[in-house]
């Protein structure tokens, strides 16, 4: 990773700070609960409008429509075209 300094000594780095947001995502066949990451000052709507075809979801729990847990994954990518709706969730209890 490169680090750059301006003439006054301010440090610039390539690190992009992101905040975890807990969400519930509905697709036609499943419901997914997990975290997506947003850059600081970015809205969920901004993330969904990016040109990228997929959205990363971490700590994902994928449920069938009847509410049964289909699988649990540390990371999945979801095709944005399959999202029916997305809602904020409360942070899960430890």
CATH of the domain at 46: 2.30.30.100
Any domain includes 3: no
Q: How many domains does the chain have?
A: 1
Each residue of 30-55: pLDDT tens digit? 999 999 988 877 887 877 787 789 99
Any domain includes 23: yes
* Three-state secondary structure string covering the chain: CCEEECCCCCEEECCCCEEEEEEEEECCCEEEEEEEEEECCCCHHHHHCCCCCEEEEEEEEEEECCCCEEEEEEEEEEEHHHCCEEEECCCCCC
Any domain includes 45: yes
Report the range of poorest mean pLDDT among 50-54, 60-64, 71-75. Answer: 50-54
Average pLDDT, the chain: 85
Any domain includes 31: yes
Any domain includes 44: yes
Instruction: Select the more confidently predicted residue: 94 or 62.
Output: 62
Any domain includes 55: yes
**Domain extent for 74:** 16-88
Any domain includes 63: yes
Any domain includes 58: yes
């Amino acid at each position: 990773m490169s680090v750059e300094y301006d003439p006054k000594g301010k440090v610039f780095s390539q690190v992009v700070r992101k905040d975890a947001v807990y969400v519930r995502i509905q697709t036609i066949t499943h419901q997914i609960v997990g975290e997506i990451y947003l850059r600081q000052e970015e809205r969920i709507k901004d993330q969904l409008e990016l040109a990228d075809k997929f959205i990363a979801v971490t700590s994902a729990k994928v449920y069938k429509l009847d509410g049964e847990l289909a699988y649990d994954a540390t990371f999945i990518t979801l095709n944005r075209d399959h999202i029916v709706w997305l809602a904020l969730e409360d942070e899960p209890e430890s």
